[in-house]
Amino acid sequence: MKWIVLLCLVESLGSGWAVPLEGLEKFTVDFFPNNSMLLAATLSTNFLVNVPKCLSSSKFSPSKVRIAVAQLPDATASTGVTKTEDIQNLRKTPQATVYFAGEFKSVSCRAGRELVVMDIDNSQYELITVLGFQVGAEFCRETKGPFCNQALKPATFYRVNFFILDDKSEIRGHTDWSPAIQTRSVKNYDSADEMYGGRAGGMIVITILVSVGGFVLVIALIAAVALSNKK
């Protein structure tokens, strides 16, 4: 009987859902860089947090980032989370106050320095820049998938935490919980939070369409910077 219990414990640890937070590697992330009003923009049912530009570890290869959200009674309250199984899934527990809101691929620090993405089409190109993760971007009844990034409550405090997964989708690291951020209080819900409407999945991007002339200007600027660095 003891062997069965031990086997179950090992299995739960391997799955990444019952790991004590103190046993995970700690990563440092600036959730609101330079107190940016844009990235820390707070609306009544959602807000933005910065996403890690790159993740590096000597213990494992970071593959995905899973974001956890905690609803708080006030700005000084802690989340009370000591292990990963304390974080619920809204698909199974709709009323959970600490839950996983979504998941996205991580970028290694080396790839982050070298990666440039452009889509050139019909004499134009799209320059797409990830602006941040929109916490509170979905209505669970209208979406599918393992997690739900549900719309937040107005005038309520929240914290977020990034959990880092390896290439086997096991949780191996996490950040500290972010500073508490409060959503705005609104009276007219029909006119609220139109700024980032229609951005499914949580990721907010900026898309800039530039003509051929603009593209040539960008190339010239890159060449000038490269030449100046050689000097």
Task: Pick the most confident of 51-60, 62-71, 119-128, 134-143.
Answer: 62-71
Which has the higher per-residue pLDDT, 2 or 196? 196
pLDDT above 80: residue 93: yes
List the single range of 103-112, 177-186, 219-228 with lowest mean pLDDT.
219-228
**DSSP line for 111-178:** HHHH----EEETTEEEEEEEEEEEES-B-GGG--SS---BPPPTT-EEEEEEEEE-TTS-EEEEEPPP
Mean pLDDT across the stretch 73-91? 95
Write down all domains in the chain, each with its CATH number in brackets: 19-116+133-206 (2.60.40.10)
Mean pLDDT across the stretch 83-95? 94
Q: Position of tokens 């009370």?
A: 80
Mean pLDDT across the stretch 96-118? 78
Mean pLDDT across the stretch 137-141? 90
H or E element at residue 219: helix 212-230
H or E element at residue 35: none
Q: Residue 135 and residue 140: Cα distance in Å, rounded?
A: 13
Q: Residue 104 and residue 52: Cα distance in Å, rounded?
A: 11
pLDDT above 90: residue 208: no
Percentages helix, strand, coil for the chain, rounded to the nearest 5?
20, 30, 50
Q: Residue 72 and residue 145: Cα distance in Å, rounded?
A: 25
Q: Residue 84 and residue 18: Cα distance in Å, rounded?
A: 5
pLDDT above 80: residue 213: no
**pLDDT in the model for residue 4:** 40
The pLDDT tens digits for 149-200 are 999 999 999 999 999 999 999 999 999 999 999 999 876 555 545 545 544 4
pLDDT above 80: residue 203: no
Calculate ∠ Cα 139-144-148, nearest 5°. Answer: 50
**pLDDT in the model for residue 64:** 95
Positive or negative: CA dihedral 149, 150, 154, 157: negative
**pLDDT in the model for residue 205:** 54
- Report the greatest alpha carbon distance in the chain: 73
**Residue from 128, 110, 129 nearest 119 by CA:** 128
**pLDDT in the model for residue 16:** 42
**pLDDT in the model for residue 90:** 94
pLDDT above 60: residue 19: yes
Which has the higher per-residue pLDDT, 142 or 221? 142
The per-residue pLDDT of the chain, averaged, comes to: 78
Q: Is the pTM of this model over 0.75?
A: no
